[in-house]
Structures are given as structure tokens and as C-alpha cells.
Structure 1
Amino acid sequence: MLGFGGGPSAIPLIHQEAVKKYKWMSNEEFSDTLAIANTLPGPIATKMGGYIGYRVTGVVGCIGALLATVAPTAIIIIFLLQVLQKFKDIPWVQHMSMSVVPVVAVMLATMTWDFAKKSGETLGWVKGSILIFSALLLTEFLHIHPAIVILAFIIYVFIPISKRGSKE
């Protein structure tokens, strides 16, 4: 709950518990699960916990694991936001709150650059750049909802190359 580094920092703990302590899966199975979880959207610790819980006891295990990974953090956040709200008029609290904005902006920019690099490495820089700038154009300038853009890109990927107009 109080770990630093988010979901990725919990992976060694999940490995320790699932592989070494309880032996719910082997190292290879854990590595495969981690690889698949990394490709899916969302928090890694939640996906890993949910899958391992499902694997151990089915749907009930999945729900229990999801609650165990999400509920404690949500409770702490709710508590901290209530405390922050109570003291919001104190000048140093206001400055602290305003100081978070640029830090979050840098974190988002770093994450965006990491995604751009990963796109360039996996799709190629030309194709990756075209998709990135297409998404930017569609969402920011044409005001198309990001979920629609993502769905359209996913559908595009599943259209066979021969139907897209390329010659085989």
C-alpha cells in the first residue's frame, strides 16, 4: 500500500508470494504471465493479481485478488484526499497542491516518450510516427474520443493486408 514505484515495484513481491512461497506457478509461467500482462492496458499489479487469483481459485479468487490490490490503495487515497480537502485553504497546502501539477506533467511526458520509443522499436519509426500523429490529429484537432480512435486502430490491425490495398 505504501510502496514507492507503483505497480512495477510490486512485481518482485508478487513473484515471491506466487512462485516461491505458495508455489502457485513456476518461474516460466510467471514470466509468461508478466509478459502478457505488460501487453495489456491497465495497472500491472492489478492484472497480475487478478490472473493469479483466477488461476488459483477461479472467479472468486480473481475478485478477491482484485479487491486486495485495489481496495487498500483506494481507501488510503480517499482518506488523504479528505485530509487535503480539510486543509486546502492553508497557503503551504495550496502551494504543495499546485507543485504537483508540473511533476505529473513531466511523469506523463516521460511515459509518452517511453510509449513512442516502444512504438518505434516494434512497428518501425515511420509507421509508429504515422500512428502517433494520426492519433494526435484525431483526438486533439478533430475532437474524436480516444476510445473510438483506439478501437479504429485495433480494427485496422485485424484487417488482412490484402484487403487494405497492398499487393502480396
Structure 2
Amino acid sequence: MKTQRDLFNAFFRIGIFGFGGGPTMIPLVHKEVVGNYQWMPDDEFSNVLAIGNTLPGPIATKMAGYIGYKVGGITGCINAVVATIIPLIIVMIAGLGLVNEYRDTPWVAGMAMGVVPIVTWMMAKLCYDFFLKGHKAVGAVATGLLSIASLVLILVFNVHPGLIIAAVLAGVLVKPEKKIELKTNEKEG
């Protein structure tokens, strides 16, 4: 029962503080799942995020569903998803009505503008953390080249990020039949 309570508390906090939509919730999910409760390591979280991004629908509920299922089975899945969406439903019903009514007031406009830099830094921190993980996994050069190639594909050629993630996952899943070994010439002594 403690696990179900922990799942609900973690994802309820994510739902409350995840202002700005699903992508802004990712650093919060990471903090709760990897940092606070240690339900999975960074590598597994990265895989969950990558796969979740390739599937249709909101990322926050997909991650909540998977992580809830992994931690607490079917009940955990339902628990985590419900905990994630309850705050969103409350905000949509109550908050958006108020924001819509007072949208022309300076304090509401200022509040909306103030959230943008916070969300930007949350996403930048997440990107930096993933860059460091990639650096450890495949090296700095490969991580840098993949990052630059992804950026160019998204910004210049308007390729959907899900297609890039799917291509990378396909590349990782396809194993070559023969491993190539590099041999160095060593002087015998």
C-alpha cells in the first residue's frame, strides 16, 4: 500500500507543478522517479522517455502509465495516471476560467511571461543531463554529432522529433552480424 501511496504522491506533485504541459513535466518526473524514489536508473528513464516520445498522446500520462505499471502493476498504472491528471483537470476547470476572465490584466500577463524562462531552464537542464549521459555512453564526439544532426534535421528540414528518435532506436536495435575489431600494431619485444 505504501508503494501505491508513493506513486500517487509523486505523480500528483508532478501534476501540480508541471505548468506548461507534458514536456515541462519531464524534469519533474525524472526528479521523482530517478532521484527521490529511485524506481529506475537514468538509462532506463532515458529509454522510457525516448519510447514515450515516439508514441502518440501526452508524454506525461504515457510516462506515468509505464512507470506506475512497472512499480505497482495495473493498479499502479491507473494510480499514477489519475494522480497526474487530477491537478490538470482542476486547473483547466477553475484556473483557465479565471485566467480567461482576467487575461488583460498586467499581473496575469506578467505571470504567463514569467513562466517561459523557468520552463526554458528546466528543459535546458534536462538536455544537459542527457548530453552528459550520452557522453558517458557513446563518447563526446558521437553525442555532439548526433545532437547537431538532430538539431539540423528538426530546425532546417522540419523532421518530426519522433522520427529521429525512432531512427536512433532502430539503429540501436539492429545488431550487425559481425563485430568489427580494430587491431593495433604492437612491437614485439
What is the TM-score with the length of structure 1 in the denominator?
Answer: 0.68
Structure number with greater CO (CA < 8 Å, separation at least 6) is 2
Distance 1:137 1:152, change over 3 A: same
Alignment of 1:77-116 (within 5 A): 77-78=91-92, 79-116=94-131
Q: What is the deviation of 1:9?
A: 5.4
Out of 33, 36, 40, which is 1:34 matched to? 40
After the TM superposition, list the runs of 4 or more consecutive aligned residues in structure 1 that deviate by more than 4 angstroms. Answer: 2-5, 8-12, 42-46
Q: What is the deviation of 1:82?
A: 2.7
Amino acid at match of 1:65: N
Distance 1:115 1:11, change over 3 A: closer
Unaligned runs of 5+ in 2: 1-11, 18-26, 50-58, 182-189
Q: What is the deviation of 1:138?
A: 1.1
- What is the SS of the residue equivalent to 1:167? coil
Out of 148, 152, 177, which is 1:137 matched to? 152
**Stretch moving more, 74-83 or 89-98:** 74-83
Unaligned runs of 5+ in 1: 16-30
User: How many angstroms apart in 2 are the aligned matches of 1:10 and 1:149?
Assistant: 27
Query: Alpha carbon RMSD of aligned pairs, Å?
Result: 3.0
Deviations 1:112-158 (A, max 9, x none): 11111111111111111111111111111111111111111111112
Q: What is the deviation of 1:11?
A: 4.9
**Does structure 1 residue 167 correspond to structure 2 residue 148?**
no
Aligned sequence identity (%):
24
User: How many angstroms apart in 2 are the aligned matches of 1:132 and 1:8?
Assistant: 21
